[in-house]
Structure 1
Amino acid sequence: MGSAAGTSGEPVVVERADGAGGELVLRRAGDHYEIISNGVFLMDTRGGASERLLVRAAAAGLDGPARLLIGGLGVGFSLAEALTLPSVAHVTVVEREPKVIGWHAAELRPWSRGALDDPRVTVEHADLLDYLASPRGGRFDALCLDIDNGPQWTVTPGNARLYAAAGLDLLARRLTPRGTLAVWSANAAPAFETLLRGRFSRVHARPVPVPRGEPDVVYLAAGPRPASP
């Protein structure tokens, strides 16, 4: 753990730690926080429109009590949004980095709105692929993935497996018949969209404008096709 005062306007390192996927850094920049993995920017507490859309779009049309799984806690935008939806009865969050979970008891708590203390929330400290391959949790009405920077921009190489055919098979098995898979991406991922269309009967890509650069994209998939033998 370390800190640096920095000069005016420069981000300040709040904590530096060894994470499951390498070095993990929490920085403060003015009133906001940033998470850096292995020197690559992952996310910050500014905005959050696409992360909120990820959850709202996945849960759209669900009536009655719904069970959601969120892959990746991040800065908490997706989890906080899920708890505002009247149809959501329970949210399971799978996060492999204990430091990220810990930061939500302190620095990041305002952005997750204290959601980790909500009785409707279960936090699983695990790699999402390991969790999906285990018998834990059962099936879900919505699977919301905010892992790394998306299918085609993974900071941690092992995360690419989640967006490959075998990963999609695991995800499809965890959906209820009315369920939707929602995947956040920092950019368009045409190869991933092709994989989705081969595995699901209904696929939609929703661009989300951002202040700078190309839009974020939320991929929505439902109606799993039978897995290839």
Structure 2
Amino acid sequence: MSGTETVIADGGLVLRHRSDGHLELRANGIFVMDTRETSTEKALATRALELHSKPGQVLIGGLGLGFTLEAVLADPRVEAVTVVEIEPRLVEWMRAGRIPHGPDLLKDERVHIEVADVAVVLRESHAETYDVVLLDVDNGPGYLVHDANGALYEAPALADARRATSPGGTVVVWSAAEAPALLEVMAQVFDEAEAHSYPVDLQGHSETYWLYVGRLSAAGAPPRNGTN
């Protein structure tokens, strides 16, 4: 495709085919991700899967350009993946091949796509449904693309994620910047919480991205500090 081609959807979602041959996704004028630097999207999956001996059931909040999903599907232990994406046009682009690797990803029989708000899906999920929950729905609590997503980084939504996760499971949240307050809240909700930084090259600029990991004990103790 031409380097000048840009696809724009209602609501300010833009998929741009850049002159360097890479795709770039923007929402409301804010850079979300591209196909040049994908290590953090993949790390979101691989780090979480490494922490679980049997990650059979996985939920991914945020489809993006599909690289987290791709990394999850590469793990033969994964039996089923539910991807929750609030933007229907992004799912359409994937299915139609606007994102070239999209059709092959979505035709995998293990993949189930839900066009919905991941906060609602987690709140309405049956308890202990998923072994691993991966949340990559925004740029993190300090750089929100959509203000409404701020609630996903707070105790009630994280407690919903915990309730939907099986004992011994893992919830991993991606952030574009260090978020000490998020780590503090996750430490209140989960049995263990830790932060992992990752250096990246973002279009020629050195940046550091973060993964926030919440783990449940195998005993399945209830959320601490009264979060439920």
| Shorter-chain TM-score range | 0.7 to 0.9
The match for 1:228 is: 226
Q: Which whole-Å CA distance do the structure 1 matches of 2:78 and 2:160 have between them? A: 23
CA drift of 1:109 comes to 3.1
CA drift of 1:12 comes to 2.8
For the pair 1:24 / 2:47, whether they are aligned, the reply is no
For the pair 1:48 / 2:46, whether they are aligned, the reply is no
For the pair 1:153 / 2:146, whether they are aligned, the reply is no
Q: 2:169 aligns with which of 172, 179, 186?
A: 179
Q: How many residues align?
A: 216
Identity in percent: 37
Relative to the length of structure 2, the TM-score reads 0.88
- Contact preservation (8 Å) 1:97, 1:125: yes
CA drift of 1:107 comes to 2.0
- Contact preservation (8 Å) 1:142, 1:175: yes
CA drift of 1:151 comes to 2.2
Q: Which whole-Å CA distance do the structure 2 matches of 1:83 and 1:113 have between them? A: 14
The match for 1:107 is: 98
The match for 2:211 is: 218
For the pair 1:81 / 2:77, whether they are aligned, the reply is no
Q: Which whole-Å CA distance do the structure 2 matches of 1:219 and 1:48 have between them? A: 18
Q: Which whole-Å CA distance do the structure 1 matches of 2:120 and 2:18 have between them? A: 34
Worse-matched range after superposition: 118-127 or 198-207? 198-207
| Structure 1: gaps of 5 or more residues | 6-10
CA drift of 1:67 comes to 0.5
Summarize deviations over 1:192-216 as a string: whole Å, max 9, x none: 1111111112112111101124311
| Structure 2: gaps of 5 or more residues | 217-221
The match for 2:133 is: 143
Relative to the length of structure 1, the TM-score reads 0.88
What is the DSSP-based 3-state SS (H/G/I as helix, E as strand, rest coil) of the residue aligned with 1:209? strand
Q: Which whole-Å CA distance do the structure 2 matches of 1:138 and 1:61 have between them? A: 17
- Contact preservation (8 Å) 2:51, 2:170: no
What is the DSSP-based 3-state SS (H/G/I as helix, E as strand, rest coil) of the residue aligned with 1:109? coil
